[in-house]
Structure 1
Amino acid sequence: MALKRIIPCLLLRDNGLVKTIKFKDSTYIGDPINAVKIFNEKEVDELVFLDIDATKDRKEPPYELIGDIATECFMPFCYGGGIKTIDQIRRLIASGAEKVAINSAAFYNPQFIKEAATIFGSSTIVISIDYKKNLFGKTSVYVNGGKKNTKKDPITYAIEMEKLGAGELFLNAIERDGVMNGYDIEMIREITDAVSIPVIACGGAGELNDFKEAFYQGRASAAAAGSLFVFQGKKRGVLISYPDPTEIKEIINN
């Protein structure tokens, strides 16, 4: 069995770090390079960086920042945000990213995923699936930073992405983002049961026990979190943290 991973998910905006609640109400957290240095010391498994304005602003990935992060980063990391061309992926990998997370382009141009997986290998291609329930209670995949309802069922969509060559799925519950009230275990389990590729659960982690539930009830291969690793206390003071080796062992070994 593959080792379970606990992954900090860091949101980029204008080359700084922010944290959102339900994809809105962003709070500035600090400098990404400083965060990387702290996570290095804490021997983090992996990092995910998502530029939350890239698609909306139609801007290129921050290659220089990615290169700076790679220079400091002791662990593998994934970058996502506005990726829609093969050349962008090539430049990101050359800048030091090990994986790329693709969201909107996967919906608008599914064949792009097939082409990217063929060129770079499935292990490089992560599909980011943001989802929530609409006013009628139907759960759908959303793109464009959580603003456009694709009307796609997340489970069906996950299966489609696996068939196109995706090597991993990053499953993000929009309504749980930053709320810290636990993962959407039911959806995580339904998708992990439907696909054979690894699933990263994201959205809702508020305590270490939530990771256990994602792993052993949701059957996720990895669990990502933002607020839990950057805030402390009810007043949400900024303090970067990560479970120590003893805590991680207890989580993973259940």
Structure 2
Amino acid sequence: MSIVRHIPNALTSGNLFLGTTGAYLALVGRPDLTAWCVLAAALLDFLDGFAARMLHAYSDIGKDLDSLADLVSFGVAPAAVLSAMVHFSLTGQWSGLFLTLEMTQQALVLMPFLLVVFSALRLAKFNNDERQSESFIGLTTTATGMFTVSLAYLIFKEGGWWLQLTNPWAVLAMVAVFSALLVSEIPMFSLKFKSFGWKGNENRYVLLVVSLFALVFLQVGALAVIVPAYVLYSIVLAVSIRSKISNKKAG
């Protein structure tokens, strides 16, 4: 096999390395750096698929490696960030010795890692679900991970009222909501453009405009706004489509 055909797996391996590094940085108290690692991992996640299509370099190993990398970068690293947020709320420190915490505090610090379990379920479901070739069923691990690290970046950099979101119960509520979204049956429209015309891409352009405004005002933290907007917009579209189908059947 030509060395060129190894490029997609090399990019995926870079994704995995960045995810592992991001998880470590979160656990040592630098969730802001984790955000950059996860965003870079998301870029490599896009590029490895693009390279595989361009080079026709598909393989079972590449598929398995991609899922593993996504689980670490968009499951483990974000969960570590959420755990660091809980630790900060309980102790005023973004990191510290786990064994110095009380038992109840230890449990609260570990609970965010449930997100990893649901991320794994999401990836397994995606790999075996033929319905998700053109759009998604449930929220992707990538979107979940980017929202989490973006929010942590805002909290770490801005402080102030943002720190209220590190409350353990607020964090656990986020874990519950995103865990449910990961394995839900809610249709989420694909963000991939097959052409640049308005027809067929209306939803993508609307989200793109919202994203640009958010990026201007919040920069890296914009994803904490963009992802919820994407979820809500997808839900509204799904309800609208279902309503139209019901009206046609009734008519």
TM superposition score normalised by structure 1: 0.29
Structure 1 or 2, whichever has the larger Rg, is: 2
TM-score (norm 2): 0.29
